[in-house]
Amino acid sequence: MSSPKRRIETDVMKMLMSDYEVTLVNDNMQEFYVRFKGPSETPFEGGLWKVHVELPDQYPYKSPSIGFVNRIFHPNIDELSGSVCLDVINQTWSPMFDMVNIFEVFLPQLLRYPNPTDPLNGEAAALLMRDQKSYDKKVKEYVAKYANKEAAEEAGEDSDDEDEMSSVGSFKSEDEEPAGQMEV
Amino acid sequence: MDGDLGSDDDERGIELSSIAAIFPELVIGSDPFTASLELPISPSRPLLVVFPQLTSNAPASQIAERLEHVSLQEKLELHGPPVSNVTAMLMEVKEISHLPPLKIDIQLPQDYPSTSPPVIHLSSELSWIPETRLRTLETEAKALWEELGHNQVLYDYIDLLQQAADDGFDLVPKDGSAVTFPATLEVALLDYDLKMKRRKFEESTFDCGVCLEPKKGTACYRLQDCNHVFCVECLQSFYSNCITEGDVYSVKCLAPDCERKPTLESKRQRLTKTLEASELIQIPIPQEQVQRYVMLLRKKRLESNSNTIYCPRKWCQGPARSSKPVNKDETEDIESIETPADESDKKKALPLPSERLCVCEDCGFAFCCVCTQGWHGEFAPCFPRSQYELTTEELASEAYLRKHSQLCPTCRARCQKTMGCNHMECFQCKTHFCYLCRAFLDQENPYKHFNTPLLQCYMQLWVMEEGDGDPGDVNLHPVADDQFVQPEDDNLPQAAPPPPAPAPPAPALGHLDDVPHVRYNRRAQRGLARPQALQGHAHGLQRFLAMAAADEEDGWDSDELDDDDDDDEDDI
């Protein structure tokens, strides 16, 4: 089982060498953050996201888990958790793919060609299908608000659990409201 | 080496030592001026070979005749539809890229090269090269020696042989068709070819695309269909992972863009095919994993097949297939599932009586796929049960629920009183209600309901104090029947019952036990096992709609329904 570990190192080294800003968590090659820039000529252009990457022990036989830390408005990315719905990093993952593929090809493609028919963010999908212009506008709003350099950095400063706590809290309040209404 | 060659100044010695430098495989014989060399034969283009098998029912002359006339094209077609029965049966064109070596025995006479040519003897392992051809090649040594003006000729001669070998010794007919070898050689030649290929593979180095490390061929495996090479360790880890997690459809070539030559150009067909179990064993993948793989594949195939019927025995539930669709589906691939439209059409029509027999693959139980009873033969009538119909068991528990439980007026959660008074608080939504009539109770003063003389529950607070569970117990509380819609109604797409409005927290409507209801009596007479506990109704129109919806699925007579509906209207 030595080769998977070596492969993890190789992949992270490749990321570093292709000019990605990579922040390791716990000096462990298996968990890190990558700064990801929105692809040009898309409403995501100019955005900077911090993407959390976790490589399972069985990487590359198993696909990595990828999540956006700061918010993004995209039909196939969950707004709160940041998890990405993309076939090539889930069902059709091949062990011959690597991290550079993901950041150089898969994620830019996903942002460029969203798939509103299989949404994780229903609102974004509905908006994209109904009104492309407002979708673009809203994406840009999000980029300006959440995906600037400071926001990306800040998302890094905020410890993870804090982030999770707040999102859990918002879930709760949302859930309780309709329940309360029903009781009335 | 030079020492072995005796006198160094001898021209022959010098020549042999220089040949030995070029061909390290050269073996110098006991006599210093004899040598032998084995020339590996790997023709530049793989030889197409046929091994005609002489069978008793096809005369040899006929085959020979055919062989002469079969051109390459025709032979290639043999892979497709057979051209003719005889040739298709007897000839399979094999591609051979490595053949047993040509052995060259060289003897240099005393007066070589000035006056005598070298004495050459050629032979081939398994003597697959025709004798006549070898003799011609032998004589060419002399010709070449003459041509070079009685000079040292060995290198040029070996080179000539090499070239002849590259061309396959001109064994291939001019029209490019296959070479015919005696059938006795088939196994040996193919075996040699395979062994050489394997050795070549093992000697080379591959960069595994997964672990990105260069690996010796011995640690690698070449996938049979697509020829992609990966290291065994990576293949094992990946496939084991897939099989353990049940993702058997990923057990295919690791290359993402690998399309293993799709046999049929159909859109429905998957481009990539999962590996055969036999290949997994070769990699090698542990046997228990391969077994699990085969088991899971079979299961998935059965599950994805709409014709699969599961064994009605509860302890078995193994897959079974009815006789007719089996034949059809086994020839088809898993992927070629019919379009949804076809399926829905199929579901509507019941299979013919002759096609209703199913045999469970696990327990061998033979049953009818329509009525799921033990097989009753083709001519016994069977009564197809609709999947919405309830079993006796389900009916009994439904009847019990009606009789011995109450619904929360808000959330319709069922509860059963085990003991105590009739003031209930819903465990789920905390609504306070009366266990007898389902009326909402005022949270502040719930007992008012039982203390108001005009209401029907007056003085009934402690009725059924011992609980509502005794099977022999008489039904003491009315159940508003519109609240008990059959559970499976929700799954029905065609039935759209009106949304049940919560019963208003009004004073209970009172027992309707005394109002005889035509419909239920009639049903009871017809033995439809509708529990008699269903009595009384609250809201005429809603109830009517709900019942109409329910009746539709149960397949009751619509005429009768109409009558009843009229009655309902009259009641209001």
How confident is the model over B7-20, as pLDDT tens digits?
456 788 888 888 88
Q: Does B241 touch chain A (CB under 8 A)?
A: yes
| Residue carrying structure tokens 């059409």 | B345
Structure tokens at B237: 């880890």
Beta-carbon contacts of B181 under 8 Å, excluding residues fewer than 6 positions away, are B49, B50, B51, B128, B189
Instruction: Count Cβ atoms within 10 A of the Cβ of residue A153 and give its class: 0-12 exposed, 13-18 middle, 19 or more buried.
Output: middle
Beta bridge partners of B216: B205
| Closest residue on chain A to B257 (Cα) | A94
Contact B210 A60 (CB under 8 A): yes
The stretch A167-171 carries a mean pLDDT of 42
Half-sphere exposure in the Cβ direction for B569 (13 Å, CA): 6
Residue A74 main-chain phi, psi, to 5 deg: -150, 135
How confident is the model over A50-71, as pLDDT tens digits?
999 998 888 888 889 999 998 8
C-beta separation of A10 from B212 below 8 A: yes
Q: Does A95 touch chain B (CB under 8 A)?
A: yes
Residue A115 main-chain phi, psi, to 5 deg: -115, 90
Residue B223 main-chain phi, psi, to 5 deg: -70, 135
3-state secondary structure of B131: helix
Which is more confident, B472 or A86? A86
> How far apart, in whole angstroms, are the C-alpha atoms of residue A154 and residue A146?
10
Name chain B contacts of A60, Cβ cutoff 8 Å. Answer: 210
C-beta separation of B395 from B382 below 8 A: no
Nearest by CB: B255 against A1, A58, A96: A96
The stretch B556-560 carries a mean pLDDT of 43
Could you give the angle at which helices A132-146 and A122-130 cross, rounded to 10 degrees? 140
Structure tokens at B445: 């003063």
Catalytic residue IDs of A: 85
| pLDDT at site A109 | 92
Q: pTM (2 decimals)?
A: 0.53
3-state secondary structure of B233: helix
A9, A57, A63, A96, best to mutate vs chain B, most B CBs in 10 Å: A96
> How far apart, in whole angstroms, are the C-alpha atoms of residue B312 and residue B363?
11
Average pLDDT, chain A: 79
> How far apart, in whole angstroms, are the C-alpha atoms of residue A45 and residue B145?
78
Nearest by CB: A3 against B211, B255, B430: B211
Q: Does A86 touch chain B (CB under 8 A)?
A: no
> How far apart, in whole angstroms, are the C-alpha atoms of residue B36 and residue B108?
11
- Do the strands B47-50 and B179-180 form a parallel or antiparallel pair, or are they unpaired? parallel
> How far apart, in whole angstroms, are the C-alpha atoms of residue B339 and residue B343?
7
Q: Spell B490-518 as b/e; 16+ CB within 10 A means b.
A: eeeeebebeeeeebeeeebbeebeeeebe
Question: Is it the case that residue B354 has pLDDT exceeding 80?
Answer: no
Contact B211 A6 (CB under 8 A): yes
How confident is the model over B264-274, as pLDDT tens digits?
444 444 445 77
DSSP state of B440: B
**In chain A, % of residues over pLDDT 90:** 18
The stretch A119-144 carries a mean pLDDT of 89
Half-sphere exposure in the Cβ direction for B123 (13 Å, CA): 6
Work out the minimum CA distance from B428 to partner chain A, whole angstroms: 11
> How far apart, in whole angstroms, are the C-alpha atoms of residue B404 and residue A66?
53
C-beta separation of B439 from B449 below 8 A: yes
* E strands in B139-279: 179-180, 205-207, 214-216, 220-222, 229-231
| pLDDT at site B149 | 84
Confidence class for position B88, pLDDT limits 50, 70, 90: very low
Name chain B contacts of A182, Cβ cutoff 8 Å. Answer: 429
DSSP state of A85: -
Q: Does A92 touch chain B (CB under 8 A)?
A: yes
| Residue carrying structure tokens 């050489």 | B196
Q: Spell B248-265 as b/e; 16+ CB within 10 A means b.
A: bbbbbbbbeebebeeeee
The stretch B102-120 carries a mean pLDDT of 85
Work out the minimum CA distance from B245 to partner chain A, whole angstroms: 11
C-beta separation of B92 from B78 below 8 A: yes
Instruction: Tell me what ipTM this predicted complex has.
Output: 0.72
| pLDDT at site B268 | 43
Measuring CA to CA, which residue among B102, B104, B103, B110 is closest to residue B33?
A: B110
State the amino acid at position B147 in one-letter form: E
- Do the strands B27-28 and B432-434 form a parallel or antiparallel pair, or are they unpaired? unpaired
Q: For the CA atoms of chain B, what is the radius of gyration?
A: 44
C-beta separation of B526 from B557 below 8 A: no
Confidence class for position B263, pLDDT limits 50, 70, 90: very low
State the amino acid at position B284 in one-letter form: P
**Greatest distance between any 2 Cα atoms in chain A:** 61
Beta bridge partners of B54: none
Nearest by CB: B255 against A4, A60, A94: A94
Work out the minimum CA distance from B151 to partner chain A, whole angstroms: 59
| pLDDT at site A108 | 92
Question: Is it the case that residue B360 has pLDDT exceeding 70?
Answer: yes
| Closest residue on chain B to A3 (Cα) | B211
Structure tokens at B476: 């003491």
The stretch A142-158 carries a mean pLDDT of 74
C-beta separation of B537 from B468 below 8 A: no
Contact B256 A96 (CB under 8 A): yes
| pLDDT at site B321 | 63
Domains and CATH numbers, chain A: 4-159 (3.10.110.10)
> How far apart, in whole angstroms, are the C-alpha atoms of residue B91 and residue B58?
12
C-beta separation of B241 from B200 below 8 A: no
Instruction: Count Cβ atoms within 10 A of the Cβ of residue B433 and give its class: 0-12 exposed, 13-18 middle, 19 or more buried.
Output: buried
Q: Residue B282: enclosing H or E segment and its boundaries?
A: helix B277-282
B83-86, Cβ contacts within 8 angstroms, sequence gap of 24 or more: B86/B58, B86/B62
Contact B213 A4 (CB under 8 A): no
**Greatest distance between any 2 Cα atoms in chain B:** 145
Work out the minimum CA distance from B431 to partner chain A, whole angstroms: 9
Question: Is it the case that residue B502 has pLDDT exceeding 60?
Answer: no
Nearest by CB: A94 against B213, B241, B254: B254
Instruction: Count Cβ atoms within 10 A of the Cβ of residue B269 and give its class: 0-12 exposed, 13-18 middle, 19 or more buried.
Output: middle
C-beta separation of B423 from B461 below 8 A: yes
Nearest by CB: B429 against A6, A94, A183: A183
Question: Is it the case that residue B418 has pLDDT exceeding 80?
Answer: yes
| Residue carrying structure tokens 């591959």 | B206
> How far apart, in whole angstroms, are the C-alpha atoms of residue A16 and residue B363?
59
Q: Does A62 touch chain B (CB under 8 A)?
A: yes
| pLDDT at site B386 | 55
> How far apart, in whole angstroms, are the C-alpha atoms of residue B110 and residue B444?
132
Q: Does B46 touch chain A (CB under 8 A)?
A: no
Measuring CA to CA, which residue among B178, B152, B210 is closest to residue B94?
A: B178
Q: How much of chain B is helix, strand and coil, in % rounded to 5?
A: 40, 15, 50
How confident is the model over B34-66, as pLDDT tens digits?
888 888 888 888 888 887 766 545 444 454 444
> How far apart, in whole angstroms, are the C-alpha atoms of residue B514 and residue B456?
14
CB proximity under 8 Å: B 345-364 to A: none
Q: How many CB atoms sit inside 10 A of residue A69's CB?
A: 21
Structure tokens at B65: 């005749």
C-beta separation of A114 from A139 below 8 A: no
> How far apart, in whole angstroms, are the C-alpha atoms of residue B465 and residue B493?
43
DSSP secondary structure letters along B308-324: EEE-SSTTT--EEEEHH
